[in-house]
C-alpha cells in the first residue's frame, strides 16, 4: 500500500471514529426516543402532552365526544402485516364512514376530536390506533410506508363486515401521508373515495428539519443520520419518498386544511402540494393554529370545510 493511500485511510478512519460515530450514536438515541415504541405505555391512549394547556383542551373535548356517543361505539380489530390493530367504531346507522388517522404519538381517543363534522354530515366514524400506537401491535412506525396497507385492511373490514359502501380518510400530519399513500396504491378500491389532509408535509425529512430548526439544533449531520435509522429499522426512505412524490398520482378528491402559523409543515409547502395535485382539490388556509391544531381555533370554519367537501365525494 502506498504512503499517500495509507494517510488517506488513516484520516478517514479518524474522521469516522471522532465525528461520525458519536453523531450516529446520538442520532440513534434521538430516533429511538421520537420514533420507536419501546414499551406498551409509550404512545398509549392517554394525552401525549399533559403539560400543554391547548393540547389538553383538545384531548378533553375528544374524550367528551367519545363519552357522548359511547352507546354507538364498538371495538374493532384487524390484522395487517402480521400485526393485530385496534380501533373504535362509532356506528350512526350510515352506509358511509370516515377513518381518522392521527399523527405521531396519538391513539384513537385523540382522533375523536376530529370526528364531529363527519358525524354531523351523516357519516360513521372509525378512530384507529396506528401500528405501534394505542392498543395496536408494533414497534416501528413506518411514517406511511406500511400504514397505507393497514388503511386498506380497515377499509375492507368496513366494506365487507360493516356494510359501508363509501370510505373517506381524514389524516393529521403523518396520518395524512399514510392516507395519501393508501389512495394512490394501484390496489386501492373504488369505495375508498377521498381524503382530508390536515397539516400534510412534503416529506417527513422536511418536517423533521423544521423541528430541528425550531429547537435551534443543527440539521447536519443529525437529521440525515436519523433518516438513516428510519431506513434501517423501519424500511422507509423519507428523504426521496413522501407526499410531494405521490400527490401527482392521486385521482380522488382531496381537501387540504392548513394553518398559516404552521412551522413544521410550512404554508408554502402546502401550496406546493396543492399545485402539484391534478385530482379534484380544495385548499383552505386558516390564519391561526400551530401544527395539527387548526380546529381548536376555528371549529365552525373547520367543520364547515369538511361538510362542504363531503358533498363532492
Number of domain units in the chain: 1
Under a CB-based contact definition with an 8 Å cutoff, are residues 218 and 237 in contact? no
Question: How far apart, in whole angstroms, are the C-alpha atoms of residue 166 and residue 98?
Answer: 9
Residue 72 backbone dihedrals phi, psi, to 5 degrees: -95, -5
Chain centre distance of CA 109? 15
In a domain, 300, yes or no: yes
313 residues of the chain, pLDDT tens digit each? 566 655 555 444 544 444 667 888 899 999 999 999 999 999 999 999 999 999 999 999 999 999 999 999 999 999 999 999 999 999 999 999 999 999 999 999 999 999 999 999 999 999 999 999 999 999 999 999 999 999 999 999 999 999 999 999 999 999 999 999 999 999 999 999 999 999 999 999 999 999 999 988 888 899 999 999 999 999 999 999 999 999 999 999 999 999 999 999 999 999 999 999 999 999 999 999 999 999 999 999 999 999 999 999 9
Q: For the CA atoms of 162, 167, 172, 177, what is the dihedral angle to 10 degrees? A: 120
In a domain, 196, yes or no: yes
* 3-state secondary structure (DSSP) of residue 15: helix
pLDDT of res. 3: 61
In a domain, 46, yes or no: yes
Q: Which CATH number belongs to the domain containing residue 166 in this structure? A: 3.40.50.1820
Under a CB-based contact definition with an 8 Å cutoff, are residues 204 and 174 in contact? yes
Closest CA to 129 of 99, 90, 149, 158: 99
Helices 147-161 and 174-183 sit at what angle, rounded to 10 degrees? 70
In a domain, 23, yes or no: no
In a domain, 14, yes or no: no
Question: How far apart, in whole angstroms, are the C-alpha atoms of residue 225 and residue 202?
Answer: 19
Under a CB-based contact definition with an 8 Å cutoff, are residues 253 and 194 in contact? yes
Q: Residues with Cβ < 8 Å from 312, sequence gap 6 or more?
A: 194, 253, 280
pTM value?
A: 0.94
Q: Residues with Cβ < 8 Å from 51, sequence gap 6 or more?
A: none
pLDDT of res. 1: 54
In a domain, 207, yes or no: no
Q: Which residues pair with 50 in a beta bridge?
A: none
User: Phi/psi class of residue 127: alpha, beta or left (left: φ > 0; alpha: ψ in -120 to 50)?
Assistant: beta
Q: Residues with Cβ < 8 Å from 285, sequence gap 6 or more?
A: 258, 259, 260, 267, 270
pLDDT of res. 218: 84
> Containing domain of residue 167, as a range?
36-202+242-310
C-alpha cell belonging to residue 130: 396506528
Residue 274 backbone dihedrals phi, psi, to 5 degrees: -60, -45
Question: How far apart, in whole angstroms, are the C-alpha atoms of residue 90 and residue 115?
Answer: 10
Alpha helices, DSSP H, located in the chain: 3-15, 21-35, 53-68, 108-111, 116-120, 147-161, 174-183, 204-214, 222-229, 243-246, 267-275, 299-310
In a domain, 215, yes or no: no
In a domain, 109, yes or no: yes
Please list the helix, strand and coil fractions of the chain in percent, rounded to the nearest 5, in that order: 45, 15, 40
Strands 83-90 and 73-80: antiparallel
Amino acid at each position: 500500500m502506498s504512503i499517500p493511500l495509507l494517510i488517506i485511510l488513516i484520516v478517514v478512519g479518524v474522521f469516522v471514529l471522532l465525528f461520525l460515530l458519536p453523531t450516529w450514536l446520538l442520532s440513534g438515541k434521538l430516533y429511538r426516543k421520537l420514533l420507536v415504541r419501546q414499551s406498551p405505555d409509550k404512545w398509549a391512549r392517554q394525552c401525549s402532552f399533559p403539560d400543554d394547556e391547548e393540547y389538553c383542551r383538545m384531548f378533553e373535548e375528544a374524550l367528551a365526544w367519545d363519552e357522548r356517543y359511547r352507546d354507538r361505539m364498538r371495538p374493532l380489530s384487524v390484522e395487517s402485516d402480521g400485526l393485530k390493530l385496534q380501533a373504535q367504531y362509532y356506528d350512526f346507522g350510515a352506509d358511509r364512514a370516515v377513518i381518522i388517522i392521527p399523527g405521531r404519538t396519538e391513539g384513537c381517543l385523540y382522533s375523536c376530536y376530529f370526528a364531529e363534522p363527519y358525524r354531523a354530515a351523516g357519516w360513521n366514524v372509525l378512530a384507529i390506533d396506528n401500528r405501534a400506537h394505542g392498543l395496536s401491535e408494533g414497534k416501528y412506525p413506518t411514517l406511511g410506508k406500511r400504514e397505507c396497507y393497514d388503511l386498506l385492511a380497515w377499509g375492507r373490514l368496513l366494506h365487507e363486515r360493516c356494510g359501508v359502501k363509501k370510505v373517506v380518510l381524514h389524516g393529521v400530519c403523518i396520518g395524512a401521508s399514510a392516507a395519501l399513500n393508501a389512495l394512490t396504491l394501484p390496489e386501492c378500491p373504488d369505495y375508498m373515495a377521498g381524503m382530508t389532509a390536515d397539516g400534510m408535509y412534503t416529506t417527513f425529512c422536511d418536517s423533521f428539519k423544521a423541528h430541528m430548526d425550531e429547537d435551534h439544533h443543527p440539521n447536519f449531520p443529525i437529521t440525515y443520520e436519523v433518516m438513516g435509522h428510519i431506513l434501517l429499522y423501519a424500511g422507509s426512505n423519507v428523504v426521496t419518498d413522501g407526499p410531494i412524490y405521490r400527490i401527482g398520482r392521486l385521482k380522488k378528491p382531496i381537501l387540504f386544511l392548513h394553518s398559516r402559523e404552521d412551522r413544521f409543515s410550512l404554508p408554502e409547502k402546502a401550496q406546493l402540494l396543492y399545485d402539484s395535485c391534478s385530482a379534484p382539490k380544495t385548499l383552505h388556509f386558516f390564519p391561526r393554529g400551530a401544527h395539527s391544531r387548526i380546529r381548536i381555533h376555528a371549529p365552525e370554519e373547520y367543520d364547515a370545510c369538511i361538510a362542504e367537501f363531503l358533498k363532492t365525494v
